[in-house]
Amino acid sequence: MDKLVIEGGNRLEGQVTASGSKNSALPLIAAALLPETGTTVLERIPDLKDTRTFRKLLDFLGADTSFAEGRMEINAANLRSIEAPYELVKQMRASIYVLGPMLGRFSKAEVSLPGGCAFGPRPIDLHLMAMEKLGATISIENGFIKATVPGGRLKGGPIEFPISSVGATGNALMAAALADGVTTITNAAAEPEITALCDHLIAMGAMIEGTGTSKLIIEGKKELKAVTFTNIFDRIETGTLLAAAAITGSSITITDTDPSHMASVLRKFETAGCHIATENGTIHLKSPDILLPTDIIANPYPLFPTDMQAQWIALMTQAKGTSQIIDKVYHERFNHIPELNRLGAKIEIHNNEAIVHGPVELTGTKVMSTDLRASACLVLAGLVAKGTTEVLRVYHLDRGYERIEDKLRQLGASIRRESYQEFT
């Protein structure tokens, strides 16, 4: 097992390039199951545990895939299975993304109930409801979602989500793209990752109106074609790197971004006293002499993302005053706080609210990753902590960050990866 060893106290400086987005790469890969012929080529796919797992899943289904230097090629013409097995699905919740494309193309699918990060329940009810609205019959048997379409082809219709869900919106989009008739999705997720999926589907021949809004109208097609498509940048990785600069009192530049995707996050950095400059896809952050306490409420896009909540809590340990952080997306996403307190942070938890008192001097020790963003939070804390911090179980981090230790080291951090043996 791997850990990251960080010697805290170094200031960061320089320029790095943003990686492709993990959260958009996975539905883009799933959409490659829709065309019956041809090879889908996806550019700027990050080399992550999740993208490698998803590729293994497509290989298991019978797709012909290859991946090198950010370019993934997928030919799904000769799929031989409609079953996504537990052994692969348990590693990543996003495996549920194959449900919509398989139902749309084959009118049947069997997908193991998913696994993923361990921070409270994240039900798949909305995914199943969307498929049922399109005419699928669904049952849960022996840990599997078993779905069939009695009429032989999904039928377009109204889908209204009671809460916004990126995953369920993506699944509904892919299924509706091959459904018979028109599908209207209301309260659809409007995240940039969904816009990227819409753009990909449109390039494949789908008819979609309302891209980038909470109401999507999809006119189903009998077939879609394989195309070449370039993934968007990872706004969460970019936000994490900006937080790394802010927590260490540094200045950095990140290229190949789209600042419009990060408006809410960049505003919060400015409220905290940081100077932000954007130009031609580049974001530059200069830290203030005194970091100001800044409250956040994590909500669906375009508001502050839940995937930046943990990193913001780490940052606020160095702000002069008290900050309030509320997560309205995942109420139980605070497993990182006990570990931060072990480093010397002063954080209280009240239901889905965290109160952060700062500034405090953090002191390095061993800390345990519990999920993807919690891992990033602990790395940020280690960058500013006095002495040595060891972040254990970074396989969580590897699910969503492409060699982040290399980027941090490029910026001047003292950070290295080591193997270790856990006690059992």
Catalytic site positions: 117
Q: Is 346 annotated as a binding residue?
A: no
Q: Does the annotation flag 125 for ligand binding?
A: yes
Q: How far is CA 220 from CA 32, 154, 406, in A?
A: 16, 9, 44
DSSP tally for the chain: helices H, then strands E:
14, 24
Total Cβ atoms within 10 A of residue 353: 14
Is 197 labelled as part of a ligand binding site?
A: no
* Residue 300 labelled as part of a binding site: no
52 is in an annotated binding site: no
Could you give the CA distance from residue 168 to residue 172 in angstroms, rounded to a whole number?
6
Q: Output the CA angle 419-422-424, nearest 5 degrees.
A: 155
Establish whether 351 is an annotated binding residue.
no
**Does 403 count as an annotated binding residue?**
no
194 is in an annotated binding site: no
Alpha carbon distance 192, 54 (integer Å): 21
Cβ atoms of residues 43 and 69 within 8 Å: no
For residue 232, give the nearest of 48, 400, 29, 45 by alpha carbon. Answer: 45
Contacts of 241 (CB under 8 A, 6+ apart): 16, 252, 254, 404, 407, 408, 411
The CA R_g of the chain, rounded to the nearest whole Å, is 21
Residue 405 and residue 415 in contact, taking contact as beta carbons nearer than 8 Å: yes
Pairing of strands 228-230, 137-141: unpaired
Following DSSP, what letter does each residue of 201-255 receive, concatenated?
Answer: HHHTT-EEE-TTSSEEEEE--S-----EEEPPB-HHHHHHHHHHHHHTT-EEEEE
The strand pairing partners of 278, in sequence order, are 283
- Asked if residue 149 belongs to a known ligand binding site, the reply is no
Q: What 3-state DSSP class applies to 289?
A: coil
Asked if residue 356 belongs to a known ligand binding site, the reply is no
Known binding-site positions for phosphoenolpyruvate: 22-23
Known binding-site positions for UDP-N-acetyl-alpha-D-glucosamine: 93, 122-126, 307, 329
Known binding-site positions: 22-23, 93, 122-126, 307, 329
